[in-house]
Amino acid sequence: MTAFNLASESKARAAAAASSEDGSSVEEERSTLKSVSRKLESMFEMAMSASESEEEEEAATVAPPLTALELARRRRNRLLGRFGLAAEALTIRKSTLRKQNYSVSLVSAIAQDRVVANQLIEGGVDSAVFENFLQQMLLGLRKDKSLDGRNIVLLLDNAKIHHHSLVLETARRMEVNVLFNAEYSPWLNPVESLFAHLKRSIKEEQITTR
């Protein structure tokens, strides 16, 4: 046998061995894939059976069918959401309050020892109404001879109408010093004691007050 024949024979053997090794590796991969697919199928079957059992349990514990009214309420709740429901409840609560067909307001001025002036007004009090009350009240004080030469200090709370230019100009023209109460401190205003007494008396008569 020549050297060429030996070399060709060795190459053929090596190629056959390589092809056999490739075939065996392919077979191993195929068997691995088959085992993995079988495991996945078994896991999927177990999951499906578990979900079916849960559905059966839920079906066994399902409440009786809802009425049309309950379904409509649930649909409305989903549409409104949490904040929408809160706003709707607040609107309903406000609409159920009793509305006053007629109301009056009381404007009062007091001194350390007496009530100086009172005025009942239909409806609310604006800056023009309060300025007119202030002017009439101060004119009466200026005519009181017992107050000749005495300084007048006007204590007001921080309502917007009390800060109006008409009110301040009237006080300046009548030579009155204006002192504003501390913010959010109604208990420091003496006239509030008068209003509290009047409200208690009115409530005893079962009349609605604000």
pLDDT single digits (tens) 99-121: 657 788 999 999 988 999 999 98
With tokens 């409305």, the residue in question is 76
Q: What is the mean pLDDT of residues 34-51?
A: 72
Regarding whether 119 and 84 lie in a shared domain, the answer is no
Tell whether 60 is covered by a domain: no
Position 210 in a domain: no
The reply to whether 209 falls in a domain is: no
pLDDT bin (cut points 50, 70, 90) of residue 18 is low
Asked if 85 and 138 sit in the same domain, the reply is: no
Residue 69 CA to its chain's centroid (Å): 28
In a domain, 119, yes or no: yes
Same domain as 111, residue 200? yes
Same domain, 127 and 195: yes
Answer whether residue 1 shows pLDDT above 90.
Answer: no
Q: How confident is the model at residue 5 (pLDDT cuts 50, 70, 90)?
A: very low
The verdict on residue 161 lying in a domain is yes
CA-CA distances (angstroms) from residue 48 to 15, 45, 51?
Answer: 49, 5, 5
pLDDT band with cut points at 50, 70 and 90 for residue 29: confident
* 50 and 75 assigned to the same domain: no
Q: Both 108 and 200 in a single domain?
A: yes
Share of the chain above pLDDT 90, in %: 31
Q: State pLDDT tens for residues 50-60.
A: 666 666 665 55
Question: In whole angstroms, what is the distance from residue 9 CA to residue 3 CA?
Answer: 10
3-state secondary structure 62-80: CCCCCCHHHHHHHHHHHHH
Count of structural domains, the chain = 3
Count of beta carbons in the 10 Å neighbourhood of residue 167: 21
Q: Given this model, what pLDDT does residue 36 score?
A: 72
Best CA proximity match to 195, nearest among 106, 124, 111, 125: 106
Q: Which two structure tokens, joined as six digits, stand for 113? A: 């020892």
Rounded-to-integer distance, Cα 34 and Cα 42, Å: 12
Give per-residue pLDDT as tens, 149-188.
788 999 999 999 999 999 999 999 999 999 999 988 888 9
> Quick one: three-class SS letters along 143-203?
HCHHHCCCCCEEEECCCHHHHCHHHHHHHHHCCCEEEECCCCCHHHCCHHHHHHHHHHHHH
Would you call 119 helix, strand, or coil by DSSP?
Answer: strand
**Does residue 176 form part of some domain?**
yes
Range of 81's domain? 66-95
Co-location of 191 and 124 in the same domain: yes
123-139 confidence digits (pLDDT tens):
889 999 999 999 999 99
209 pLDDT more than 70: no
